[in-house]
């Protein structure tokens, strides 16, 4: 049996699903207020001073702090029905191929559990992702266990799966935030091209990370 690890945004999908979910789940008034409050940080991000993980955390805090967990989960379930429109046929074909081989297929993403849970359940995929923290059914605006990106992706995979039990580990990603995930694999694919030397690829992809989940 093999293990196949897929990043979500930009790998399975054509692009970002996090930002559209914010606009789907948050009232226009709260978006305007949050944008004004975060404007210095947004400028810093665009200048390359504010890291992507800090930007994501600030957006989630502004968007969801004090919201009901069930309310946001329900919105996520509705939003997940839209995700099929943005899925790459190539990605879906590869996922199905792995399933036909009897492989364990896992989505490993910095995107939110609110909407990924339903999409993955529909396709029969395991999920490791960023989760919204709640206290007594009310969202705190923080991540439960941190942002699932970079080193955290690899750590959570190792925590859940014994990689030595799989004949081949495959990994698919599309940004530098996925490099640690790709390092776990013997068969790694970056933007759907099989990779050789990950270090050389990292040097070539020296551009700043995307602010939003991958």
Q: How far apart are CA 129 and CA 170, in angstroms?
A: 18
Share of the chain above pLDDT 70, in %: 92
| Domain at 3-204: CATH code | 3.40.50.1000
Work out the widest C-alpha separation in the chain, in whole angstroms. Answer: 52
For 159-175, what is the mean pLDDT?
97
Least confident range from 37-41, 66-70, 127-131, 166-170: namely: 37-41
Tokens for 50? 């504010």
Q: Is the pLDDT of residue 211 over 50?
A: no
If pLDDT is split at 50, 70 and 90, which confidence band does 63 have? Answer: very high
For the segment 31-62, what is each residue's pLDDT rounded down to a tens digit?
Answer: 999 999 999 898 998 888 998 889 999 999 99
Q: Is the pLDDT of residue 204 over 90?
A: no
Q: What is the pLDDT of residue 196?
A: 73
| Vertex 6: Cα angle to 72 and 2 (nearest 5) | 130
First to last CA, the chain: 26
Q: Is the pLDDT of residue 149 over 60?
A: yes
Q: What is the pLDDT of residue 195?
A: 87
Q: Is the pLDDT of residue 199 over 70?
A: no
**Residue ranges of E strands in the chain:** 3-6, 104-112, 126-130, 132-135, 138-143, 169-173, 187-190, 193-194
For 166-174, what is the mean pLDDT?
97
């Amino acid at each position: 049996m093999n293990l196949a690890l897929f990043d979500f945004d930009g790998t399975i999908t054509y692009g970002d699903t996090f930002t559209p979910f914010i606009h789907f789940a948050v009232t226009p008034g709260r978006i305007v207020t949050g944008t004004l409050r975060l404007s210095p940080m947004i400028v810093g991000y665009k200048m390359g001073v504010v890291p992507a993980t800090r930007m994501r955390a600030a957006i989630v805090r502004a968007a969801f702090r004090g919201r009901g967990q069930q309310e946001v989960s329900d919105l996520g379930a509705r939003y997940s029905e839209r995700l099929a429109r943005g899925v790459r046929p190539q990605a879906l074909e590869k996922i199905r191929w792995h399933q036909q081989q009897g492989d364990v297929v896992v989505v490993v993403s910095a995107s939110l559990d609110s909407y990924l849970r339903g999409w993955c359940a529909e396709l029969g995929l395991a999920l490791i992702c960023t989760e919204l923290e709640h206290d007594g059914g009310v969202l705190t605006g923080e991540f439960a266990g941190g942002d699932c990106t970079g080193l955290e992706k690899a750590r959570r995979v190792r925590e859940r799966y014994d990689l030595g039990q799989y004949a081949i580990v495959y990994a698919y990603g599309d940004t530098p935030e996925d490099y640690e995930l790709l390092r776990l694999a013997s068969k790694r694919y970056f933007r759907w091209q099989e990779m050789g030397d990950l270090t050389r690829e990292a040097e070539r992809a020296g551009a700043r990370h995307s602010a939003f989940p991958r």
